[in-house]
Structure 1
Amino acid sequence: MIDEKGVDLNLLKVFQALASELNATRAAARLGVSQAAVSASLKRLRLLYGDPLFRRTQRGLQATPRAILLQPAISEALRIVGETLEPAQNARSQPTHLFRIGLSDDFEMAFGAEILRLVREQLPRTRLIFRQTNAAMAAAALHDREFDLALVSGSLGDARIRHQSLGSSDYRIVFDPATRAGQGAFTLQEFLDCDHLLVSFSGITGITDDVLAEHGLKRTVGAATTHFAGLPFLLRGSPHLATIPSHAADALCRLGIFESSPCPVAFPRYAFGLNWHFEGSRRADLLAMRDLISTMFKKLQVGTLLL
């Protein structure tokens, strides 16, 4: 039988960090202690619970069935203890939990500020970290615990990754109206005559080129960037056009500098959603963040939330 009078609550914090990170080095960095201290605490935890709790594998630590069962109970216990201490502490003290979301910068531009606002309201002791990723990299990063949730396009096609669909997007043209003589939507000929600013990982070709090629057409790309976040600085005062996901186009237009136009050729819509490692399905904090984000997108779809 465990003698709760002799239990060091700091051991439970170590357990929580190891369960979240599944990596002793990252757990130590998260707690602000040495890796040796984490290893020593793990030895004490194993004696306390009579179970290995975490086994080493080629991909890092793997939680045992006992550890998986313990994780939600320990997280809830630490939350309750934390609430009892709040009256004696500054209510606006530094957040106690780091949560990492992987996403591309078009999603960060379009939805990041609203996610931050909702987290401040609903999960106030959480510090968010946005980390850049894409659909090609997200599955490996989730396995390696580089982030907790991934907001990317498409499905990752990995049986160990859980997926929740959030919606779909299409494409629009963004431009600086101060440099455009014409009015209204772009015609196909005007679109082809303009210089384009390409946003793609390769910097060579993108979805717009693929769509035009299906019609035997080609555009002129004057410059390219790998990041959507650079567009406000590259497009302002420039005659270039950027054909980008509509949610990113809306985010740029909210700055009050740019305008957008429908594309003169039909683009396929693409789906996007949240992804997480299956072992995270038992984590109360991950499920809370997942539900917060999915509820936000449901409101977007019915038009009750203006972003």
Structure 2
Amino acid sequence: MSGINRLELKQLRLLSALLVQKNVSKVALQMGLTQQAVSEQLKKMRDIFDDPLFIRSSYGVIPTVKAEGLAAPIEQILSQVEALLEQDEFDVSQVDQVFTISTSDYAMLVILPELLSHIALLAPKLKIIVREFESDNVESLMASGEVDLALTFPEFIPQNILFETLFTEHHVCVCASSSRLANKTLSLKQLALLPQIIVSPSRANLKGSHDAWFSKRGLKRNIVMSLPSFSAVLACVGATDRVAFIPARLLPDAQVSVIHLEENPPSFDVIQAWHQRSQRDPLLKWMLGKIREAIEAH
């Protein structure tokens, strides 16, 4: 076995202390060891370095030329190890890097404006990339570091991704502000017959998140259009006779009015999620806290 594989950090600390104190009993007391334990470690180091290292004298021990030559490199190694373990004070105002957020346009509209105002004020050097949420690739994107944080819904997050709930949201049904249905109350049966727009950001299809809810009541929705974003839904509903479910926090919006229902769809959670590889990253911790503040201020 080579010397590097036998050398331990505690041995370097002991050797450094002996070079300073030049006394085995003082070093033993300083390190909380017995003199015998110090002697045993010194014996191992003599074998590793192929040198006596210290010669006994009436005053303690005298370092050999080899030992004295080791003093500076050992101090450098120990200093580097200490620096590795020290947690530098995090100063977000000096952070000059890129942070990538993956999200739907819903979070872009509801969360990001307030968040970005915090960032502009407190972290002026921080650069933000916002990319569309990809439910099929979220785990690999986070594991590779391409995405630092996701703002999404629990059902789109794999089990090994960490997350916390930001708030609970609910959908409301909307129609054009000029529609005769504005502020009216409808049954689900009446609503199911109306032409509806759904949002499907990841998959281009005509399947909506509330289909199962309607189906349990023996109803099938009349879905006629699928769009990739809620902002597009608001514009299209406002310009047509279509209706749609949108998260309540997107209202009020001058383009649409609410349709009241005899029964409302179930609420859902909005979360922020991150990979365990970043769990201790101070920038991530700061960002998570600022997003919570942005939600509270909304």
Give TM-score scaled by structure 2 length.
0.63
Larger gyration radius, structure 1 or structure 2: 2
Separation in 2 of the partners of 1:255 and 1:126? 32
CA-to-aligned-CA distance 1:225-274 (integer Å, 9 cap, x gap): 13223223322221100113333xxx2x3442222344443422222311
1:1-307 alignment runs, 5 A limit: 69=84, 73=88, 76=90, 96-154=96-154, 156-159=157-160, 161-181=161-181, 183-200=183-200, 201-247=203-249, 251=250, 253-297=251-295, 299=296, 305=297, 307=298
More displaced 10-residue stretch of structure 1: 140-149 or 230-239: 230-239
After TM superposition, give the deviation of residue 72 of structure 1 in Å. 5.4
Separation in 2 of the partners of 1:122 and 1:98? 15
Separation in 2 of the partners of 1:157 and 1:181? 40
Q: Is the 8 A contact 1:178 1:237 kept in 2?
A: no
Percent identity between the two aligned chains:
19
Separation in 1 of the partners of 2:246 and 2:216? 18
CA-to-aligned-CA distance 1:104-157 (integer Å, 9 cap, x gap): 122212222122122223333322221111544322221121111111111634
**Residues 72/235 of structure 1: CA separation in 2 closer, same or farther (3 Å cut):** farther
Q: Which runs of 5+ in 1 are unaligned?
A: 1-48, 51-65, 84-94, 300-304
After TM superposition, give the deviation of residue 96 of structure 1 in Å. 3.1
**Residues 184/213 of structure 1: CA separation in 2 closer, same or farther (3 Å cut):** same
Aligned residues: 216
Separation in 2 of the partners of 1:152 and 1:289? 15
Separation in 1 of the partners of 2:159 and 2:191? 39
**Residues 71/229 of structure 1: CA separation in 2 closer, same or farther (3 Å cut):** farther
Separation in 1 of the partners of 2:252 and 2:134? 24
**Residues 208/263 of structure 1: CA separation in 2 closer, same or farther (3 Å cut):** farther
Q: Is the 8 A contact 1:192 1:218 kept in 2?
A: yes
After TM superposition, give the deviation of residue 181 of structure 1 in Å. 4.7
Provide the secondary structure at the position in 2 that maps to 1:287.
Answer: helix
CA-to-aligned-CA distance 1:156-206 (integer Å, 9 cap, x gap): 3433x3222212222111221213355433333441232111212342211
**Residues 296/262 of structure 1: CA separation in 2 closer, same or farther (3 Å cut):** farther
Provide the secondary structure at the position in 2 that maps to 1:235.
Answer: helix
Which one-letter code corresponds to 1:212 in the other structure? Answer: F
Q: Is the 8 A contact 1:135 1:153 kept in 2?
A: no
Q: Is the 8 A contact 2:153 2:269 kept in 1?
A: yes
Q: Is the 8 A contact 1:191 1:264 kept in 2?
A: no
Q: In angstroms, what is the RMSD of aligned CA positions?
A: 3.0
Separation in 2 of the partners of 1:120 and 1:71? 29
